[in-house]
Amino acid sequence: MKDVPWDAYQVFLLVARHGGLTGAAQVTGLSAATLGRRVLQFEEHLGRSLFHRSPTGYTLTADGQVLFSELLAMESAARRVEQWQSEARGAVTIRIALGSWIGLFVTENIGALVTERDAIRLDLSVGEQRSQLSHRENHIGMRAHEPEEPNLASRYISEVAYAPYRRRNGADFDRWIAVEEAEAHSAYLQWPHRHKAAEIAITVNRPRSLLDLVRAGAGLAVLPCFIGDRDPQLERAGDEIAPLRHRQWLVTHSDDRSRREIRLVADRLAKLLKAHADLFGGRKSARSQV
């Protein structure tokens, strides 16, 4: 439809990818109310219902799924053109999708992935949404589960452990910090709500704020051990929470594995993470490793 602006489709894509308005609002900087209104206007313009709405989020209708798939294909084609253009300029763009904590770890060790001698430009997408690679939305991603999509290739990296943390030498009190329940999509984010709900004193809308508040001595929070154990300002406030332990996988699109630059960056990322497997697995407080 020639009279539908492209940004209306982009809003639809963001809401679909984040499963609702809250996550999309964090990415765009627009309010959830504004996004909800724009999605409704978009549906009215198309004459089709694109989302099932519920208190837990937005899920795609059959029409919404068709549109989502078509737009993903368009994005994939646009990215291939962008890649072709960048290669003509002598630089290859590699898109990497990372969760908040692994993103923090990687950015602090970015020199292990790319050097000034490489004709590579990194495009890092850091957030809580599951890394998307099926339509080449990204070239490389990290996942907590081995991918089921047939066009994705994966390699096992390590286990990831979690524990409660407090400020080192801080007050010993049972005051908890948690990501608000509506945004607690991962098991470790849900844990305080299931086990310490009465002691939650502060809620935040993004996991990264947990670290800042624990450092400030505001209370206890569940963190990945590779974040908490290497921070000189923090100490464990209890044993590892064993049920939260999971594996992590490095994922690429099967058709991209043989591309030299993508393989190079993926191999470097795998080497970096595997070198710190004990830290990720909660077996070493190796702040000196990072």
pTM of the predicted model as reported, rounded to 2 decimal places: 0.70
Residue 163, pLDDT score: 98
Query: pLDDT band for position 290 (50/70/90)?
Result: very low
Residue 85, CA distances (Å) to 79, 90, 91, 173 in order: 10, 9, 9, 57
Dmax over Cα atoms in the chain, in whole Å? 62
Residue 86, pLDDT score: 60
pLDDT in tens, 202-259: 999 989 999 999 999 999 999 999 999 999 999 999 999 999 999 999 998 887 767 8
CATH topology identical between 91-153+247-289 and 162-244: yes
Query: 161 or 262: which carries more pLDDT confidence?
Result: 161
pLDDT in tens, 91-109: 788 889 999 999 999 999 9
CA distance 138 to 133: 5
Residue 289 has pLDDT above 80, yes or no: no
What one-letter code names the amino acid at 236? Answer: R
CATH class (in words) of the domain with range 91-153+247-289: alpha beta
Contacts of 267 (CB under 8 A, 6+ apart): none
Residue 148, pLDDT score: 79
Residue 283, SS3?
coil
Sign of CA dihedral 54, 133, 103, 165: positive
What average pLDDT does the segment 115-132 reach? 81
pLDDT in tens, 1-25: 456 777 888 889 889 988 888 878 8
Q: Which residue has the tokens 């332990």?
A: 245
> What is the residue-averaged pLDDT of the chain?
87
Residue 83, pLDDT score: 62
Residue 217, pLDDT score: 95
Residue 124, SS3?
strand
What number does CATH give the domain 6-67?
Answer: 1.10.10.10
Residue 232, pLDDT score: 95
Query: 270 or 172: which carries more pLDDT confidence?
Result: 270
Residue 59 contacts residue 74 (beta carbons within 8 Å):
no
Percentage of residues of the chain with pLDDT beyond 90: 52
Residue 146, pLDDT score: 85
Closest CA to 38 of 25, 55, 56: 25
What average pLDDT does the segment 82-92 reach? 64
C-alpha 259: how far from its chain's center? 24
Query: pLDDT band for position 43 (50/70/90)?
Result: very high
What average pLDDT does the segment 23-35 reach? 80
pLDDT in tens, 124-142: 988 776 666 666 678 898 9
Query: pLDDT band for position 112 (50/70/90)?
Result: very high
pLDDT in tens, 49-76: 999 998 888 999 999 999 998 888 887 7
**Spans of all domains in the chain:** 6-67, 91-153+247-289, 162-244
pLDDT in tens, 152-202: 889 999 999 999 999 998 877 889 999 999 888 889 999 999 999 999 999
Residue 288 contacts residue 229 (beta carbons within 8 Å):
no
Residue 79, pLDDT score: 67
CATH class (in words) of the domain with range 162-244: alpha beta
